[in-house]
Amino acid sequence: MRHITRKQLLDAPSDFRRNLVNSITGYKSLHLIGSQNRNGETNLAPFSQVFHIGATPPLIGILFRPHTVERHTLENILDTGYFTLNHVSSSFYKAAHQTAARYAVSEFKATGLEEVYLEDFPAPFVVPSQVKMGCYLVENQTLKVNDTVLVIGEIQHFWVAEKGLGFDGMLDLNVLDTVTVSGLDTYHIGKKLGRLSYPKPDQPIQEI
Amino acid sequence: MRHITRKQLLDAPSDFRRNLVNSITGYKSLHLIGSQNRNGETNLAPFSQVFHIGATPPLIGILFRPHTVERHTLENILDTGYFTLNHVSSSFYKAAHQTAARYAVSEFKATGLEEVYLEDFPAPFVVPSQVKMGCYLVENQTLKVNDTVLVIGEIQHFWVAEKGLGFDGMLDLNVLDTVTVSGLDTYHIGKKLGRLSYPKPDQPIQEI
């Protein structure tokens, strides 16, 4: 195996370090975040530092890069309190990637991804997304360790394509064609290996 | 599409809510965390709330459930400062799942996953893992919103199977056979759709 120390990583070219450390955690949870500013101008951008925080109440965490330059999505969330999380499908993952470009206009318009407002929720959803969540900001803090910003949102509304919701609440990400990202730019779909029974010390694991 | 409101989610059976909210963020970054207590007794457990925090220095975040009951991994990290992160491959994902059972002995022994110590790093690595990281605790805090515990570790050592490391630092997760998890119990491998060029407003996205 190849061994790389902390010092070698810090001495490596910044591209190498960025690619490695961004891909080192494995497959990441990709979402398009829809938001709008106080003037109703919309914004759409891809995020992969998105994670489950709790089920009761339903909380999602998102980590933003340091707020040292203009960050429309973060500013819109802090200003309005509302944002949407939208899964990416294989049919539009290239447009999803393209929303990260620095456009002067809304990324919805620029990339052709259609926006929609649902149930009077004050932030735009992505029409073709098979999983859509409307979230309200409940906490934000700047992590001392590197000035990244942790935003915690509570799910207010949730939409899923009917075929992808199991009777027990499990989403079937294969059926939903949900896309995952590694590093900054490499996209994948998932292929199920198995669903496993609850682990107990005295029982062998079984597929369920 | 099926629409579920916050209230419907909170009123739903707890199994349904737990399955849904744990699978709602999409594919998650699965890692086995190896640790040891002050007596050198080892522990191994699966975690999926693992995310990139920064590349310079190389920082990884892990979210732990509330520290209201005994949590060996968390306690070992807080006590010793050291832990390992190990990718899961399809050949041992069932054993990885089984490490979550409540064993009286080390999960390494109980599940047959072999442990190894590398470079005098004071926490055990998982022999068959194709990606192994030795991390040092740099920050921990309890999130007010639901008492989950955010641990931030800095990568001190990193090992990867040579075939999975690109010249530019990108890990090839397909080649490495890295496993991802959805919800609490459903495991997947990834299948690459494409790697895309840096997004710019005036240029079409290209596969690279």
Put simply, whether A175 touches B (Cβ < 8 Å) is: no
Give the model's pLDDT for residue B66.
86
Give the model's pLDDT for residue B87: 98
Residue of A nearest to B85 (CA): A25
Q: Where are the beta strands (DSSP E) in chain A?
A: 2-5, 28-29, 31-36, 42-47, 50-54, 59-64, 82-86, 115-116, 125-126, 131-142, 149-160, 179-182, 186-195
Read off the amino acid at residue B123. Answer: A
Nearest partner of A110 among A44, A46, A47, A48, judged by Cα: A44
pLDDT (mean) for B27-44: 97
Partnered with residue B2 across adjacent β-strands are A160
Q: Where are the beta strands (DSSP E) in B15-86?
A: 28-29, 31-36, 42-47, 50-54, 59-64, 82-86
pTM beyond cutoff 0.95: yes
* Chain B contacts in chain A segment 21-60 (CB below 8 A): 21-31, 48-60
Name which of B27, B170, B199 is nearest A173 (Cβ-Cβ): B27
And the tokens for A116? 């929609």
Strand, coil or helix: B16: helix
Give me the pLDDT at residue B196, please.
Answer: 97
User: Region B46-53: what's the mean pLDDT?
Assistant: 97
| pLDDT (0 to 100) of residue B204 | 87
Q: How many interface pairs between A and B have CB atoms less than 8 angstroms apart?
A: 362
How confident is the model at residue A35, as a pLDDT? Answer: 98
Q: CA torsion angle for A10, A12, A18, A20 (degrees, to 10)?
A: -100
**All structural domains of chain B:** 26-189 (2.30.110.10)
**Among all chains, which residue has been given the structure tokens 């110590």?**
B117
Is cis: bond before A13, omega within 30 of 0? no
Q: Is it the case that residue B70 has pLDDT exceeding 80?
A: no
Residue A67: what pLDDT?
76
Q: CA–CA separation, B44 vs B1, rounded Å?
A: 40
| Tokens, residue A143 | 């992590």
Residue B168 sits at the chain A interface (C-beta within 8 Å): yes
Q: Mutate which of B18, B27, B59 to disrupt the A interface (most A C-beta within 10 Å)?
A: B27
| Predicted confidence (pLDDT) per residue in B114-123, tens digit | 999 999 999 9
- pLDDT (0 to 100) of residue A195: 98
The pLDDT, as a whole number, for residue A78 is 96
Q: Out of B20, B28, B191, whose CB is closest to A169?
A: B20
pLDDT at residue B71, as a whole number: 84
> Is B135 a residue whose pLDDT tops 80?
yes
- The residue-averaged pLDDT of B73-81 equals 96
**Over 80: is that where the pLDDT of B41 sits?**
yes
Inter-chain CB proximity A145 and B93 less than 8 Å: no
Q: Which of A104, A168, A180 sits opposite B190 (nearest CB)?
A: A180
Residue of A nearest to B195 (CA): A186
Q: Is the CB of B119 less than 8 angstroms away from the CB of A3?
A: yes
pLDDT > 90 in chain B, percent: 95
Report d(CA B154, CA B170) in Å as an integer: 19
Per-residue tens of pLDDT for chain A, all 208 residues = 999 999 999 999 999 999 999 999 999 999 999 999 999 999 999 999 999 999 999 999 999 998 777 789 999 999 999 999 999 999 999 999 999 999 999 999 999 999 999 999 999 999 999 999 999 999 999 999 999 999 999 999 999 999 999 999 999 999 999 999 999 999 999 999 999 999 999 888 899 9
Residue B67 pLDDT exceeds 90: no
In the stretch 84-143 of chain A, residues with CB closer than 8 A to chain B read: 85, 87, 90, 93-94, 97-104, 110, 119, 131-133, 138-139, 143
* pLDDT at res. A204: 87
Predicted local distance difference test score (pLDDT) of residue A110: 95
Name residues whose C-beta falls within 8 Å of residue B73's C-beta, 6 or more positions apart in sequence. B33, B35, B43, B45, B47, B64, B83
pLDDT of residue A58: 97
Q: Does B7 touch chain A (CB under 8 A)?
A: no
Distances (CA, A) of B46 to A123, B74, B87: 35, 12, 10
Partner-chain contact B155 A54, CB within 8 Å = no
Answer for the pair A60, A50: CB distance below 8 angstroms, yes or no. Answer: yes
pLDDT (0 to 100) of residue B160: 98
